Amino acid sequence: MKKIAIDAEGAQHLITAKVQGAINSVEARLIAKEIVSSNLVKTAVYGRDPNWGRIMMAIGNSDSNIKEDKIKIFINDIQIVEEGKSIPFNPTSVIAALTKSEVEILVDLGIGNGDGCAWGSDLTEEYVVFNSAYRT
């Protein structure tokens, strides 16, 4: 699956979502897949926007067991969320981290021992044009 994400036409970033501390590994993987599948997360990565609310929205869309006040979020090892709320961080550092070709979003749910991972790519104009311009 990682290879497919890397090879996406027009994509500029490989997004790796790692989820730990879930109730179980099935839910962790489900949440990770929601994160990398979210068009809002994909466009935030492309736009180098450390928009933690989009990540929280994707977590919530998974319908998994979560406790919002336990959630921690990191982008390329820079923590941006603690106890489900934004914490002070250096936006310049996070934006710089988002310019790398590989972006890791780590979510710690803090409620169990389950972990999971999923891969995806950002959503660029080039990706949209390429994939809308041909017929099968």
CA 106 and chain centroid, separation: 8
Over range 116-131, report the average pLDDT. Answer: 87
Mean pLDDT of the chain: 92
Task: Inform me whether the pLDDT recorded for 4 exceeds 60.
Answer: no
For the ranges 4-8, 41-45, 128-132, the lowest mean pLDDT is seen at 4-8
* pLDDT greater than 90 at residue 30: yes
A 10 A CB-CB count for 118 gives 23
Name the more confident of 8 and 54: 54
Residue 8, token pair as written in the block: 């996406």
Provide the pLDDT for residue 83: 97
- Phi and psi at 117, nearest 5°, equal -145, 150
pLDDT in the model for residue 29: 97
User: What was the pLDDT predicted at 8?
Assistant: 62
How large is the average pLDDT for residues 5-26? Answer: 86
pLDDT band at 125 (very low <50, low <70, confident <90, very high): confident
pLDDT recorded at residue 11:
76
User: Taking Cα atoms as reference points, which of 40, 100, 110, 43 lies closest to residue 73?
Assistant: 110
Domains of the chain: 2-132 (3.10.20.340)
Q: What is the pLDDT of residues 75-120, one digit of tens each?
A: 999 999 999 999 999 999 999 999 999 999 999 999 999 999 999 9
3-state SS, residue 29 = helix
**Please, which residues have CB within 8 angstroms of residue 124's CB and are 6 or more apart in sequence?**
10, 11, 12, 46
